Structure 1
Amino acid sequence: MNRGIITAVSGIAIAQGLKVFTNKRLTGKWDWKPLFQTGGMPSSHSAGVASLATYVAANRGTRHIETALAVVFGSIVMYDAQGIRRHTGEIAQLVNDLEDHFGTISEKYPSIEFVEREEELKEMLGHQPAEVIAGGLFGILLGLISARIENYNQDQS
């Protein structure tokens, strides 16, 4: 199978797994939900794209078009994770809070008809810049390790 794909998917999976431990450190409780959620420390999106870009650069060189593609698209993913997606989560939090306040107001004024939504909007969508940086640094390390393993295996053949 393509080692670049394996490297990127491994980066995503390992970073998602690390979220369980960082969540434990933050909350003091073991919780497996972060394995299946977006957001959190470290950014798995950043880990995946950084590991792929690093792996490609280590094997093809920094002047190759494949490296340029991986770096540019990876940068867009990382920017989006800490920018647009994070702001969308913050807006969702405000809407959820507004709905809670509107529910309280409608209890005092029965003429205001209010139907509460069954589920709140998902608030944890994006990442803080530190989460993106941590995911990126982890991805760089993984990409270098993957390239080194591949080069070692080729030398042994």
Structure 2
Amino acid sequence: MDVFSEIFSNKVLGISIYACFLAQFFKIFTGEGKRIDFARIFTSGGMPSSHSSFVTSLATLVGIERGFSSTDFAIVAVFALIIMYDASGVRRSVGKQAAILNQILDDLHHKKHIEQNRLKELVGHTPKEVLFGAILGIVTAIVMS
């Protein structure tokens, strides 16, 4: 079996990627005003967190296959927690900074013409978005394993 065949036949990887895409799909229905927005499937940030869904699905599947007391599960769980912390902390702060910079650009724009591209504000997650992404990942892993 060649490397690509092994990768594409990896059930744990496939289900984890599916959980990530499932979270992205749900974002279509959870945008501002709760209106359906198909463009949100390609954006970062928002409800639920696809990062959390991806890594918790992976951790759950490793726990199911290798045991929740295994070193493999511990390694994956630690990295999952780091990724979820980053999604809700650092990336969220970047989004808040983008909002402030965009407000500054708007203020400057009213005084004179400034051609600047607006920064993307929705790059991180609230703790609630991370939690729901994590729950989605765990449920997806359990249902599909």
Q: TM-score, normalized by length of structure 1?
A: 0.83
- Residue of structure 1 aligned with 2:21, choices 6, 10, 13: 13
Structure 1 unpaired stretches of 5+: 108-113, 148-157
- The equivalent of 1:134 in structure 2 is 132
- Residue of structure 2 aligned with 1:66, choices 57, 67, 72: 72
For 2:37 and 2:29, the matched residues in 1 are separated by 9
Specify whether residues 22 and 28 from structure 1 end up closer, same or farther in structure 2 by C-alpha distance, changes over 3 A only. Answer: closer
SS in 1 for 2:104: helix
Larger radius of gyration: 1
Q: CA RMSD in A?
A: 1.3
* Moved >3 Å (runs of 4+): none
Greater alpha carbon shift after TM alignment, 3-12 vs 26-35? 26-35
Structure 2 unpaired stretches of 5+: 1-8
Per-residue CA distance 1:101-141 (angstroms, 9 max, x = gap): 1222x34xxxxxx6321x20111101011000000011111
Q: TM-score, normalized by length of structure 2?
A: 0.89
Per-residue CA distance 1:3-22 (angstroms, 9 max, x = gap): 11011100100000011122
For 2:114 and 2:105, the matched residues in 1 are separated by 10
For 1:145 and 1:29, the matched residues in 2 are separated by 28
What fraction of aligned residue pairs are identical, expressed as a percent? 37
Q: Given that residues 108 and 114 in structure 2 are in contact (C-alpha distance below 8 angstroms), is that contact kept between their aligned partners in structure 1?
A: no
- 2:114 matched to 1:115? yes
